[in-house]
Structures are given as C-alpha cells and as structure tokens.
A and B are shown apart, each in its own frame.
Chain A
Amino acid sequence: MKKLLLTFVSAALMIVMLAVPAAAADLPNVTDAAELMTEQQLATLEEMSEDIAQKYGCGVYIVTVGDYRDLEDTDIQTCAEDLYEYFDLGVGEEKNGILLMLSMEERDYALIAFGQKAHYSFTDYGSRVLAGEFLDNFRSDDWYGGFYDYVERSGEMLALAESGTPVDDYAEDEPEYTPPSRADRIRMSVIIGLVLGVIIAAITCGVFKRQMKNAVKAVGAERYIAKENGMVMHDRFDRFTHQTVHRERIVHEQRGSGGGHGGGTTVNSHGFSGHSGKF
C-alpha cells in the first residue's frame, strides 16, 4: 500500500515537472514526495532552510521521491540536477544552492550544489563530510534526524565559508601533528647523518682515488686534424621524406574556488558539483 502511495506521489512530481512551465513552478525548500516526515517536522526544516537561505544567500533543499527512474533519468545525480534546473532552484543571480535528494526504491541519494558560493562552501571534501552527517541516520531510517543534521550542518558550512575557511581537506585531512620524542629525533638524526655520511665519504674517497691514476689511452686524434683543409666535405644532403602527426586530447578539469591545497570543488560541465550513493 505504502509502495503504491510512493509511486503515486513520484508520479505527481513527474507530472508537475512535465506539465508546469518552469517560470511558474515554485518548489518549497523541503519536498517530501516519499512522505517520510510529519507536517511538523517538514515545517521545522522549511523554517531552518529559509533562515539559512536568507542569512547566507544559498538555498538548502530537500526532495524525497519513491523512485527517481519514474522521472525518466538514468541516475539519481542527473535527476537531482534536472530537478534543480527545472524548478529554477537557488538564491540570487548565481542560483546558489545545495540539494539533497532521496530515492526510496533502491535507497539512493544525491547531494548536489550549484553556484559559485555553493561550490566554495561545499567542496568535494566538505560534501563528503556533510554526507557523513546524515547517512548514519538514514541507514537506521531516522529520516527527520538525518535531514535535520543536513540542514544544520549546511548552515555551519556556509558560515565557515563566509569567514573564509570552507571545510576542505587542507585542514581536516591532515592528521594531528605530534612532535617526535627526543629519543626519536636523535635516532632519526643519526640514521640520516649516517646515510649522508657514507654517501659523501664514498664520493670523496672516489675522487681521491681517481687522483692517483691519470694515465689513459688516447682514443681520438682531434688535435692532429690538419690545420689547412683539415676537413673537406664532398657531398651532403638533407632530404625530407615524410611526416607523422600525433594528436593528443587535453583534458580540462574544472576546479572551484575552494581550497587550493589539494582540495577544492570539482564542477561538471552543467555547473554542478556533488556526489551520489546509497544509504
């Protein structure tokens, strides 16, 4: 019965997408077509999302469907991108926003971001961190808990980005530095010194040894080439025979503005960043 209902709501969303002109469409921040949450929960999330959108100029969206394939897409990430574009989601001229989409049929999710600010705030690494916040809830069917964490953490990430330190792997990926102990430092120094010492000693003694022998058989006679007409060229040519052409395609990888220390955001040709997976 539940499955039938889910299918019906998904179909309704598809009808909306196919029938309603984009300009007229107005999707709320939280669209629960899969009916995973109560009205109260939806209202709370809607309010939180709205506050964040107004504060940081970046929309935070939630869409749940029964089966994304009903919307005639081949994968959930493409489906989420189509939804985002179709309903003209995002805030401001750049249409900044982040969308979390759940498809219940095979427990798929997609988390996508659009716009310069969103890319800067939700880096590849940050996007994974954000997913880590809600996936554990979803795996235990705690839908509201997962969405709450998603909205709350998105707000925190936008705040960090606004202060100039978006969540990226340049900071959080590095293990905490613990200075080596005194004994370790001495041991390491002696080993490095010993290796360097042996190398330098071998090179130096090799030079000393070479100085002890300088008698070498001559192999050439350059200095005996006649002063006059030492070399006379009788014939010479350089004939072009053929040529080969090798073409190598250059792959451009678009990078966002976040990070810069090996982190950053990978943006696809449609202008979206993000990832998808199972929960």
Chain B
Amino acid sequence: MQSVTNYKCPACTGPLRYDEKTGRLVCDYCGSSFTVSEIESLYAEKDEQAAAAAAAAAEKEEAAQAAAAEEGWDSADMSSDWGKDGDVRAYNCPSCGAELIFDVNTAATSCPYCGNPTIVPGNLSGTLKPDYVIPFRLNKDAAVKALRDYYHGKKLLPKAFASENHINEVKGVYVPFWMYDGSADTAIHATATRVHTNVTRDERITVTEYYDVYRNGTVSFDRIPVDASKKMPDEYMDALEPYDYSALTAFSNAYLPGYMADKYDVSADECAARADDRASRTAENAVSSTISGYASVMVDGRDMRLRRGRVKYALLPVWILNTKWHGKDYMFAMNGQTGKIVGDLPVDKGRYWTWFAGITVAVTAVVTAVQFLL
C-alpha cells in the first residue's frame, strides 16, 4: 500500500484546497488560509517524520506476515495485489482511511468517500516532477457559467442535452504539457516577378521583370506547448491556447488540492514531432513574409533545419466535462486561466431540418410577396 497526502489545516485539521482568487490554500471549516510556501515547508517536515514512521511500520508488518505465513490461509489462487501490477494502484485516504484505487498516472484527485482532496506525491516527484504550473485562475462557478453560456444560442443543440448532461460535474484538471524551446534555420530560394504596364494610344506594353530571390534566417521559439496526456484529445488542448505564460510558476504540490492531476503518459520525444511541425511551418511562413513587393513569387527550393532546445514539463489548468448523449461521448474543456472554451456539441437533426424548412418557407414567402407587390 502506497501513501497519499491531503493537505490539512494546521489549525483545525480540516482539508485545505487551493483558492483561485487569492492564490492561497484555504480551510473551508475554520476559514484559515496559508501561502503555498508555508504549507510546503510544514509538509516537508511532516514528510520526514512520516518516512521514519513508515519504515518502522514496514518492519513491524514484515514480522507479522512471517508469523501469519506459518499457519496462514491458502491464498495460492488469489490474484496478485492490483496495487503492484497493471495500470492501477491502491492507496489509503489519509482522512477517512478508505482504500482508493487510482490510475497509475493519477497525481491528484479527491476521495470518493469523504471528498477530501488527495495527492499522490510519488507521481509528481523526482524526475517526474513538473518544472512549472499555471495555477487555476477561474473557479468552478466560472466554468459552469461559461459552459451554460456556451450552450446558449446554439440553435441546433438538443433541448434535453443541456439539462441532462450534469454540468455541475465539471472537473478542474491539471493537464501535463511539454514545452519546447528551439529554433528553425530556414532558407528559401524563389523566382519573383514585377510587372509594369504602359498604355499608349495604340499599344498596351507589359514589361515583366524577373528576380532571383533568396532569404536565409533563423526563427526562435519559446515554450511551444504540446499536451502529454493520451486522455486529452490534441485538438481540444490546442484549441485552448494561448495560456498567459507570465503566470508560469515553479511547481509545487500545494497548487493541486481541489483538482485532479495526471502525470504525463506521452514522452517528450514522442510529442516532439508535433512541436517540430508547428515550428517549421511558422518559420517558413515568417521567412517567406520578408519576400514582398512582387506581383508573383514562385518558390524554387527550401531548406529547413530544426535546432531543438530545452524541454520543460508543466501542468496547465483545464476545466473538463465529459458527458454522454445517445451513447456518444462529448467533451468540453475550458482554459482554467483565460476562460476560453472548446467542445463539440451534438446536432439535433430534427431541429436542423426544422430550421432549414422554416428559413426556406419564410424567404420564399417574403420574396413572393415582394415580387408580387412590385
């Protein structure tokens, strides 16, 4: 059994959660609030004590198991502990003691029995520790309101969809992203033309000048984000951009209480191709844009060399709602920092054809009336 953490209020031992407005950890029971650094230093001390206690407990358990083995139950047919193999792990909730089963990539969630925010520090520590985090700036109320606004005015949305899709189940998730620095050396060779036309009384004279054009430049990029989670569709995470990087801060577990978080399950190398593709397209466009003042430009050749720089690991805030409608999954995501929302909504075919027929009949009636009156 591995250990998990939930940050408790030093004053009343109630669970702490991160507050988006104040940027502090607050206790909903006694009203106390603490800075991220205060809780970090408090829990660093506690972790040391917990490690010593865990070592002692492990020794004691080993001795008990050895004694039980001498006269124990026959467990040869039982499956192995699911906390050690497969894609799931088992933990005990530090608040209520319930056994929690998490996906191996889960780094923060809440206990389904007592509701307390729970963190799995092992998934976000050591080499797996993110470099940065952008804390949530918009809270759940804002996310729910944004979703309701998003539904509003959608003429083809099934009426029952908005009411039945449990909009209050929207969850705040820290999504893992890789952020790539790098540059692209780009050379473009082109043939360009300028055209001058002179018209006399009897002739139109067109002079076409041809130019051999060459451009060679380097375009540098900072922190191109690529989501590192298989669970998150790339197009959704791309569409949530941009994030305001001025809010990037050094990672701390203290930002996680109250949200879900996953560690990455797609490596930086696997994601690099997407960053490369975006960088090379942009570099070519940027260098091409310096060829101006011509009537036509025909590219004869291009050369691209990508120079990969640093890669950083960051958790970015996203409010997510997964819902089902007529057996099909629909997902909505909102940038937890800027409020930008993306999602695919179901189309009510009945409404579609009602609108189509209605508009057709209305336009036909108006045009007929106008034509008839004229």
Contact = CB atoms under 8 A, between A and B. Distances in A.
Interface of A: 185-186, 188-190, 192-194, 196-198, 200-202, 204-205, 208-209, 211-227, 229-250
B57 interface: no
A216 B224 CA distance: 17
A222 B279 CA distance: 8
Contacts, number: 206
B203 A231 contact: no
Given A214-B239, A221-B221, A227-B222, A197 B367 contact: yes
A237 B217 CA distance: 12
Find the residue from B215, B285, B359 having the highest chain A CB count within 10 A. Answer: B359
Contacts of A193: 363-368, 371
Given A212-B157, A238-B192, A247-B203, A219 B281 contact: yes
7 contacts: A197-B362, A214-B343, A215-B342, A218-B238, A222-B286, A223-B241, A224-B222
Given A208-B155, A221-B279, A235-B214, A189 B371 contact: yes
A218 B238 CA distance: 5
Interface in B144-163: 153-157
Contacts of A205: 156, 352, 355-356, 359
A242 B119 CA distance: 71
Nearest to B362: A197
A246 B356 contact: no
A253 to B, nearest CB: 13
B252 interface: no
B207 A221 contact: no
A146 B281 CA distance: 81
Interface residue range, chain B: 35 or more
A193 B117 CA distance: 62
B282 interface: yes
A267 B278 CA distance: 66
B347 A230 contact: no
Interface string B210-244: 11111111111111110000000111101101100
B224 A213 contact: no
Contacts of B49: none
- Which of B153, B212, B279, B368 is most buried by chain A, counting CB atoms within 10 A of its CB? B368
Nearest to A236: B215
Contacts of A222: 282, 285-286
